[in-house]
Structure 1
Amino acid sequence: MRRLSLVHAAVLAGAASAAALTAVPAAAAETKTVDRGHDRTITFRADRAGEALVDVTAAAPGVSWANQGHESAVLSLYVDGRYATDDVVPAAFPISRQFALGHVRAGRHRLTLRFAADRSRGTRVQVSRTAVRVVSRGQAYLDLAHAPILYGRNGADWGGPFQNSSTDTPLVAWHEDVPAAVPGHRLLTYSYIWSNEDGGTSTPQLMARWGRTTDIEWIYQVEVDAQGRRVPGTAVIQAPNHVTQPFGGTYEGDHPLMQTCTLNNNICDTVDDPMRFFLSTSASLDAATEAREQIMDRNPWTYWVSDAESRREGKVEADPPTSSTTSIADPRDYLYLVVRKVTANPPNGATDWVGLSIGVRLKGDPTLYRSDHLFPDRSIQRDVPAATTVQLPPGTTSSDIAEITAIRVPTSAADPGSTIEVQAVNRAFFLGRDDEPQQSFLSGATPATLTKAAPTAVLYTG
């Protein structure tokens, strides 16, 4: 049976070094079926009060995110009768995910798995593993205690409630924890990855400038003091039109309640949808050295889900024109890269900026395949670790690559003369036949200087 895995071990090991954990796996190892009228209940004990996390491995027979009308079956999780989160199960093969369950007191608790028939296309869910952990103190506890709870999108013009059981579903989440300006204070930022976005950036633009078809957004940020308390007036969300707006909603403990409220997955602080997503944010990211898309790399099943949605929605063609604003080629025809670079003298601004394109030459092929398809506005503008893709002929492998080049791309006739310093390539891989990332064949320093006079440089030779 095909099995996709999550990489939780490193995250949990880090949490264990700073926090007390109670781990209670499911009492039985065999697969349990959850369907209409047949709940499954698991007991666990918390040695101390804390924030509970649960790993769930689940499959839904007859379901596929790629098939219209059969997208998912939904498992709802309850702790001591309290609704905690939905698990949208998008495949007939097992997928492992981690969810938050919120604050629990010391003592015994009941975790109930319930089939949510009102939001499911499938008829049952098969659960092969559950394991609960309770984080009780330390920085890991603080990061989890302030994590947001996200309710689903339900605009009447877009299909009403339960939309996220079949489109733009939340997949994974993480946090960033950095020192705030006030000594002893911390700035916590929480981000979500959705399977796609029904509005906003076009799919070809997403692949060229962001290196994926998922939607990735920060949704909540708050400053906490040395005692871990919210600093009044610092809690903000990414509201419609990507505006940073003060959070004015309600809290469940220290967890803010919010809702996806736009087609490009921006956030409102009022809640009125039945679906609830309390994804674990225990994963962390160093934004200075890692691209946000590398959270997907740690969760390879997310590529399968996002590709399935792109295909189902008609966004994938066998050979789309490079000028297409709606369609991409098969996702397995792309090279996926993360590049680190700095633009200076002057740095990039909102207009007249200088972007970076990645070019690929294949052995025995004179064509230079470019990530931007020769459209300057599809080059990489940002100077944080950035993902991109390069479309190549079907069946291309790493052994076919002769060289990978960096190309300086002015986006207007008024070239500001900026210099691009390419520092490194974090990873470069293709997707396999199962739409999972294959092993990266390039990772490390690739120093190169791109100027107006010398706009290209070779980063890799095969």
Structure 2
Amino acid sequence: MRSRARHTALALSAAALAAAPLAVAAAPAEASSAASLRTINVHRGAPARSFSFTAARAGEALIGFTASAPGVSWARKGAESAVVSIAVDGRHVTDLVVPSSDPTPRSLALGRVDRGRHKVTLRFAKGSAPAAGRVRLARTGVRMPAADQRVLRYAPVVVGRTGWPLGDPYQNATTDTPLIAWHETRPATTPGHEIIEYSVVWSNEDGGTDTPALMARWGRTTDIEWIYRVEVDAKGNRVEGTGEYQAPAHATLKFTGKYEADHPVLQTCTSNNNMCDVVTPDSPLRFMPDVTATRPADRTREYVMDQQPWTYRVMAQEMVREGKIENPSDPATTAVGDQRTYLYVEFAKTTGAATGTGSVPGVALGVRLKSDPSRLYRSDHDQPTWSIDRDGPVATTVELPAGTKSSDIASVEAVRRPTGIGDDGAPATVTSVNRGFFLDASYLPQPSFLAWKGSATLTPQAPSAVLWRP
């Protein structure tokens, strides 16, 4: 995960994001007249299924559908997913990993197409779990959104991981699969130019930050990474030599790889989903997620997950299948318990100037229950490095006893905690709580019941404050 300095360097101004209003990834119901909506069933061992669409103009196309695979569950070994290979005019453009038997809205990019008639071919692909035999794609259609052409034009192609851990070329069909993507923009140094940055939410990271720290410091066990950014001029054309990508060890490197039209081709090449611009030949899986979604400037990156609730279910199911969940759950330990026992909170904070030497302060959230108000359940489990020292909107989770409901909560508090040796004395101010929810029995977010705005300044002399009471 990124350091505080890296997050600061990538922070987007409110003015920059105000120019890029929220565009949630299109559900299949938004598929346009480029192709009438239809239901397509793709079977293991059966011939591929095809349909045609007509593009009224040249440009970037999206395909949308509601996908389900009977017998599939991301929570069960041997039943993880079904994979559908998608080709346009005989050219393999993207794969769809279907991790559930429950119908789920999905949207993928098809890349640039010329004006005229085109053929989409869908094939049940290798890498599908043994339990998978069919994929149902309901409300399937192709659209070419005029408002999003510039953003789609430069979106990266992500080739699947083939190396670590076992050299399995289909490993993204069972672990660390890309779920959704989005973009953000900000002004470039040159007037009239802008930077477009693309990010991906992965179901988990097999390496990098350990699972308990992910829950405490990031409020989820998915992995969220920016993967590519590029500068475009006032006419919307790519400025040569400005492409950058997030390389192994979170380094930022110039992109020197190959393009498909204006799409850079990258490959997931580390256990924590960093990129390489040299691609393994004949890699079988490739992904072109829909990147048209973005987020408000005052919300966390986890906001894009909140808009696609099914991502929380896949996140939790991967933890169960990989044996990363403590059983029975115990909030007194630092191990990750059943993720349905956690309160998922997003809040905003700032850190003031240091008044001495020592470590910077982080902020943890604490919850008291009506049944035992003397006990404080902390998001950082009292681990100094698990409090949150980065500023802006941030997300965390608080583990609570199994069965806890919103009506059981007596208060939510903010706690200042130095992250290392010593204390530099800087105040930390919490200014809002944007949402708080539990996952339901199916691992889907319940409606948020928690919201607060104000100013609670935490100091060494007054290190805690109550933010919310019912």
What TM-score, normalized to structure 1?
A: 0.91
Q: Which residue of 112, 128, 133 maps to 2:121? A: 112
Q: d(CA) in 1 for partners of 2:237 and 2:52?
A: 31
Letter in structure 1 aligned against 2:359: D
Q: Specify the alignment match of 1:75 in structure 2.
A: 84
The alpha carbon displacement at 1:347 in A equals 10
The alpha carbon displacement at 1:24 in A equals 3.4
Q: Over residues 3-38 of structure 1, what are the superposed CA-to-partner deviations in whole Å (9 max), with x where a residue is unaligned?
A: xxxxxx973799xxxxxx95335453x563433233
CA contact (8 A) 2:156 2:288 kept: yes
Moved more, 186-195 or 121-130: 121-130
Confirm whether residue 306 of structure 1 aligns to residue 315 of structure 2.
yes
Q: How does 1:213-362 map to 2 (within 5 A)?
A: 213-272=221-280, 273-286=283-296, 288-319=297-328, 327-346=335-354, 352-362=359-369
Q: Specify the alignment match of 2:58 in structure 1.
A: 49
The alpha carbon displacement at 1:442 in A equals 1.6
Q: d(CA) in 2 for partners of 1:93 and 1:439?
A: 20
Q: d(CA) in 2 for partners of 1:446 and 1:370?
A: 21
The alpha carbon displacement at 1:143 in A equals 0.9
Q: d(CA) in 2 for partners of 1:67 and 1:249?
A: 37
Call closer, same or farther: CA 1:420–1:47 in 2, change over 3 Å. Answer: same
Which secondary structure does the structure 1 equivalent of 2:179 belong to?
strand
Call closer, same or farther: CA 1:98–1:26 in 2, change over 3 Å. Answer: same
Moved more, 433-442 or 158-167: 158-167
Q: d(CA) in 1 for partners of 2:40 and 2:452?
A: 42
The alpha carbon displacement at 1:444 in A equals 4.3
CA contact (8 A) 2:341 2:404 kept: yes
Moved more, 92-101 or 183-192: 92-101
Q: Specify the alignment match of 1:18 in structure 2.
A: none
CA contact (8 A) 2:369 2:409 kept: yes
Q: Percent identity?
A: 51
Moved more, 255-264 or 270-279: 270-279
CA contact (8 A) 1:34 1:127 kept: no
Q: Which residue of 206, 213, 227 maps to 2:214? A: 206
Moved more, 126-135 or 115-124: 115-124
Count of residues in Structure 1 that have an aligned counterpart in Structure 2: 442
Q: d(CA) in 2 for partners of 1:346 and 1:174?
A: 35
The alpha carbon displacement at 1:180 in A equals 1.2
CA contact (8 A) 1:32 1:126 kept: yes
Q: d(CA) in 1 for partners of 2:25 and 2:221?
A: 31
Letter in structure 1 aligned against 2:54: R
Q: Which residue of 112, 127, 133 maps to 1:123? A: 133
The alpha carbon displacement at 1:178 in A equals 1.5
Which secondary structure does the structure 1 equivalent of 2:416 belong to?
strand
Q: d(CA) in 1 for partners of 2:216 and 2:328?
A: 16
The alpha carbon displacement at 1:161 in A equals 0.6
Q: d(CA) in 1 for partners of 2:68 and 2:306?
A: 21
Q: Specify the alignment match of 2:23 in structure 1.
A: 11
Moved more, 263-272 or 226-235: 226-235
Q: Specify the alignment match of 2:176 in structure 1.
A: 168
Letter in structure 1 aligned against 2:23: V
Q: Over residues 317-352 of structure 1, what are the superposed CA-to-partner deviations in whole Å (9 max), with x where a residue is unaligned?
A: 134566867x41000000000111111113999x71
The alpha carbon displacement at 1:123 in A equals 2.0
Q: d(CA) in 2 for partners of 1:393 and 1:323?
A: 9
Call closer, same or farther: CA 1:13–1:169 in 2, change over 3 Å. Answer: closer
Call closer, same or farther: CA 1:348–1:173 in 2, change over 3 Å. Answer: farther
Q: d(CA) in 2 for partners of 1:380 and 1:12?
A: 28
The alpha carbon displacement at 1:52 in A equals 0.3
Letter in structure 1 aligned against 2:295: L
Which secondary structure does the structure 2 equivalent of 1:209 belong to?
helix
The alpha carbon displacement at 1:130 in A equals 0.9
Which secondary structure does the structure 2 equivalent of 1:385 belong to?
strand
Q: Specify the alignment match of 2:383 in structure 1.
A: 375
Call closer, same or farther: CA 1:354–1:319 in 2, change over 3 Å. Answer: farther
Q: d(CA) in 2 for partners of 1:191 and 1:91?
A: 23
Q: d(CA) in 2 for partners of 1:379 and 1:27?
A: 48
Confirm whether residue 153 of structure 1 aligns to residue 165 of structure 2.
no
The alpha carbon displacement at 1:457 in A equals 0.9
Q: Over residues 86-126 of structure 1, what are the superposed CA-to-partner deviations in whole Å (9 max), with x where a residue is unaligned?
A: 00011112111110000111222121111103544322212
Letter in structure 2 aligned against 1:259: Q
Call closer, same or farther: CA 1:74–1:441 in 2, change over 3 Å. Answer: same
Please, what is the CA RMSD of the aligned residues?
Answer: 2.2
Give ranges in structure 1 of 5+ residues lacking alignment. Answer: 1-8, 15-20
CA contact (8 A) 2:326 2:337 kept: yes
Letter in structure 1 aligned against 2:311: T
CA contact (8 A) 2:331 2:400 kept: no
The alpha carbon displacement at 1:421 in A equals 1.4
CA contact (8 A) 1:98 1:280 kept: yes
Letter in structure 1 aligned against 2:121: T
The alpha carbon displacement at 1:413 in A equals 3.8
CA contact (8 A) 1:173 1:191 kept: yes
The alpha carbon displacement at 1:270 in A equals 1.3
Which secondary structure does the structure 2 equivalent of 1:427 belong to?
strand
CA contact (8 A) 2:331 2:337 kept: no
Q: d(CA) in 2 for partners of 1:439 and 1:169?
A: 26
Q: d(CA) in 1 for partners of 2:160 and 2:25?
A: 31
Call closer, same or farther: CA 1:292–1:430 in 2, change over 3 Å. Answer: same
Which secondary structure does the structure 2 equivalent of 1:183 belong to?
coil
